Structure 1
Amino acid sequence: MTAILSQMDDRHYETYIETFAGSSDLVDFLMESFMLFKDLIGKHVYPSDWMAMIMVQNRVFLRAINTYADTMNQKFLNNDDFEVQLWNNYFHLAVAFITQESLQLQHFSPTKRNKILAKYGDMRRLIGFAIRDIWYKLGSHKICFIPGMVGPILEMTLIPEEELRRATIPIFFDMITCENAHSGNFQKFENEIILKLDHEVEGGGGDERYMQLLETILLDCAAEKPPLRPQVQHFVSLVKGLLIRLLDYRTVMNDDSRNNRMSCTVNLLNFYKDINREGMYIRYLYKLRDLHLEGENYTEAAYTLLLHSRLLKWLDEMCSPQFEFHGSQTQRQLKETLYDTIIDYFDKGKVSMVLQHNLLLHLDLH
């Protein structure tokens, strides 16, 4: 397929697109093409050291993706013809393309990086700028992609390439503006950013420079929209505080000092508690529990689980998703399971039965 596409010029693409009898057939073709490209990008068709073949394939795919995007701009952007799923597939393919390992030039030696840039250019910039331009063309349809596209756009902006970051971070402000105009707030966007930032930074994304750019760009954008400025300033302060803690946490996770790891874990769980993100708070409670178990501090592990149990009630209502750690169950069932585990930890920590009973009774009364 790569060989065939590499032989096609603009006229070939145009002629082929015109062979489709109706819009639905063309939509099906584009959807299938995007899924195929995404699958091939993810499967690593060539060994990682076959760099020339990988870059040739990427260049061919990039041209095809951009050509198909131009077709979509012409045929599926107007209100009557807008295809949400088609555009969604495009964005996910484009982000998969830009974030693929073979294009992350920062991981290569200077010599190899310079050779790639000289022959192929930085394809991350090319498709990143295309994603930005297409986003702004969506108009009122942008709301269809919030919060679903927040995570993929975040993943793109975290790529450590200065110009790409500067070009794409403003999309976040546009999302804020769009959701606020639609709903009177941007709560969905904020929730998704916090959730996805935690995942991305823990996985190695982000750095202090990213934090600086995010703060500067969003505040500069907010300065041009006075009615939104206070809310955006609060959001930026929130995200900056989270990034500081996440970067500290990532730095110490391989630290020999368990105390340092505990300190950063406690900082994060307290942060999530303060901003009422119970799901993330519970996630870090269990990370703290694991650190205590690692050091055979069973009593501290029990006290950590008690913090989770205090969020549950003796009710037969199903647990909220953030409370589920053992499949679908009621709050009563999960609370009982936690108490069984807590008692087991107390036993291992040599805590007396009388003290255990008093602690659990005290919690149930409050």
Structure 2
Amino acid sequence: MTVRTVREGIIHYRETAHSGANNAACTKPNAQYRRINEATETTMGRLQLSSAVGKTIDSLCVKGNQLDDVYETHGEAKYRVSMLRRHKLSSNQHAHGLFAGYCGEMSGFAERILAAVMSDRRHANRKEGQSFETPPITLASWEGDHAFAMLGDPRKDKQTTVVPVDGWVMRPAAHTLNNSAFTGTLKVYSSTRQVPGRYLDKVVQEWSLDEVEKKYERSGKARSTKQRDKYYDALKKDVSRGRMKIWDHQWSDQSRSTVQYYQAPGGEAISYDYLPKDELELKIEQHRDARNSGLSRTLDQYLGRSGRRQVEEERAIVSGDDDSSGEEISRPTLPEATDSESDGEAAGAASVTSPTLLSRQPTGSLEESTRRLALPEDTDSDEVYDTDDDRDADAGRDHED
């Protein structure tokens, strides 16, 4: 789905991205357990909002240090973040039109959206006699390596009622803080940002690189192709020498093998580890392509001078501008991943060659996801990872906050 406004995205994912929605599929196709967590009605409302906001951010933005987005954009995701940081632009993605970032920018964008939602709710409560909850918005820094927004304040509230909002991961899902992968030392800050509700209705307009550079470069001109090639060539070198980390982090909760469900008294158990099937199919395909290609080979293929020429040639063929062939270009169908591939043991996972890449996330089929809707409950909450290293690998620490 093409999201035109943040409000449109929130409404779309609120209705379509949970276990009770039609044509929705679990984002963890290889999960072995489901865990039902007791929750209050208030917490259920926070989970619903977190899920919708996180998925909206993911649909709007590219993450410059996530494997899938770097691969899918041929490196442009990383270039957009470099522009954002070089010109010290804010997390207000609508203002500069880059719609890119690392976890710090995604956390700031979530803060703005949540502040606008709370403004909207306060107005409805005051003018229309509604009774929407307006929880405090807080920001978390996890051991200096990851940042995300939260609904609730863990300094005052139980972790079972505080809900992270994290659009940096590739398959955002709502969960309570006690089920977060990011446990340990959290520095928590209270948000004082005030954003009017109309922010949710601003039309999303992603600017081209030329448009952004003309506005923010000191010369007032777009950077030349030679200058961009120089950046991409340096990027390839940094990756090959292990000086730049690209993460393969799909989820932000504790376990890739457990689907978290939440249930209010007398209510139905609901999981937000779900997406519309068509959107999830695309994500799984992109993730599998990125892992099978390997980041180093992806950068060699697409970035820099030779890569730019190849991309231009590919675009000419797809658009029909190339007269060398009148045949339709078809994309080969990749084989389904086996269980061993999902655990990172097969050649597909091993082909990700960057020495600093964390890539232990499963890729399964939607058929598997559908079959496992009735998963057994996970009764042993401690037996999630084989080793502490597995847990750290799953957390996918983002050092570039």
| Structure with greater strand share of residues | 2
TM-score (norm 1): 0.24
State the structure with more CA Rg: 1
TM-score (norm 2): 0.22
Of structures 1 and 2, the one scoring higher in RCO (CA 8 A, sep 6+) is 2
